[in-house]
Homo-oligomer: A and B are copies of this chain.
């Protein structure tokens, strides 16, 4: 976007003009946000209603009593809308888990509770809203992994914190807390999500307890004394950052308002023939 000589010769936008534009913009932006919110709400209702993210843009438009035109004026497309809802739901979920876990004292116990909560909220329940994002989330995972990742950041931060604490108290071993946290989260979320082999295999899906037991093993200093001549597995804990470094990220933000996003960046361009 920097190689456009033809335009770089334009007038340098005087400050007063910028301000003028800014002012006339503010009001509009406010209204825009309201509209956006209406779309968001409508979509949320639809999801809760139908149980899937398969609603049509039309439906959202109708329910929000606005117009298609308006929709596309505020969102880059259905995808953006879903992404917004997704992020919003995730950050709320993160906040909720954080809060419920706050009570616990023991790091490991807190982590366990967090895993249980995460597992539970990742579960495809029927009536409620948030869970249905899981299916969209999975789809998103293959189409826009980066955005999913960033949406997961708050939660990942939190889990990382807990893992670090557990490491500090010697209850766990994790040379790379963040990565370990990521693994734990993934395990919990995907296991909850996937009705995995419930066919000829076991009839009942894997439970939270099992997930936790598995994760627990994964972080407890495991007896890595297997005679395998492979590369030393777990022992890469080079100077475990146990010393100080208390990250203690007290981000109590959770300002869910994911209103108008329009990152308009790597969004898939509308295919045109």
Q: Which residues of A contact B (CB under 8 A)?
A: 52, 54, 77-79, 106, 108-109, 112, 124, 134-135, 138-139, 141-143, 145-146, 148-150, 152-153, 156, 171, 176, 178-180, 182-183, 186-187, 190-191, 193-202, 206-207, 209-224, 226-228, 230-231, 233-234, 262, 264-269, 271-273
Sample 18 A-B pairs with CB under 8 A, ordered by A number.
Answer: A54-B271, A54-B273, A138-B139, A139-B142, A146-B199, A153-B197, A153-B200, A179-B202, A180-B214, A183-B187, A183-B206, A209-B227, A210-B228, A216-B218, A217-B220, A218-B218, A262-B271, A264-B269
CB-defined contacts of A134 to chain B, threshold 8 Å: 142
B183 touches A210 (CB 8 A): yes
Copies in the complex: 2
Which B residue sits closest to A197, measured CB to CB? Answer: B149
Q: Given A197-B152, A222-B216, check contact A267 B143 (CB 8 Å).
A: yes
CB-defined contacts of A183 to chain B, threshold 8 Å: 187, 191, 206, 210-211, 214
A178 touches B202 (CB 8 A): yes
Closest 3 CB pairs of A and B: A217-B222, A217-B218, A214-B218
In the complex, what distance in Å separates the CA atom of A179 from the CA atom of B191?
11
| A149: contacting residue among B196, B211, B218, CB under 8 A | B196
A196 touches B152 (CB 8 A): yes
CB-defined contacts of A219 to chain B, threshold 8 Å: 214, 217
Most buried by B among A176, A200, A201: A201
Which B residue sits closest to A229, measured CB to CB? Answer: B109
Most buried by B among A112, A219, A265, A267: A267
B223 touches A206 (CB 8 A): no
Q: Given A141-B193, A196-B182, check contact A265 B264 (CB 8 Å).
A: no
CB-defined contacts of A213 to chain B, threshold 8 Å: 218, 222, 224, 226, 228, 233-234
B179 touches A206 (CB 8 A): yes
A141 touches B142 (CB 8 A): no
Which B residue sits closest to A221, measured CB to CB? Answer: B223
B146 touches A135 (CB 8 A): no
CB-defined contacts of A206 to chain B, threshold 8 Å: 179, 182-183
Q: Given A194-B141, A214-B218, check contact A150 B108 (CB 8 Å).
A: no
| A233: contacting residue among B109, B216, B271, B272, CB under 8 A | B216
B217 touches A153 (CB 8 A): no
| Closest-CB distance, A260 to chain B (whole angstroms) | 15
CB-defined contacts of A178 to chain B, threshold 8 Å: 197, 201-202
| Closest-CB distance, A161 to chain B (whole angstroms) | 13
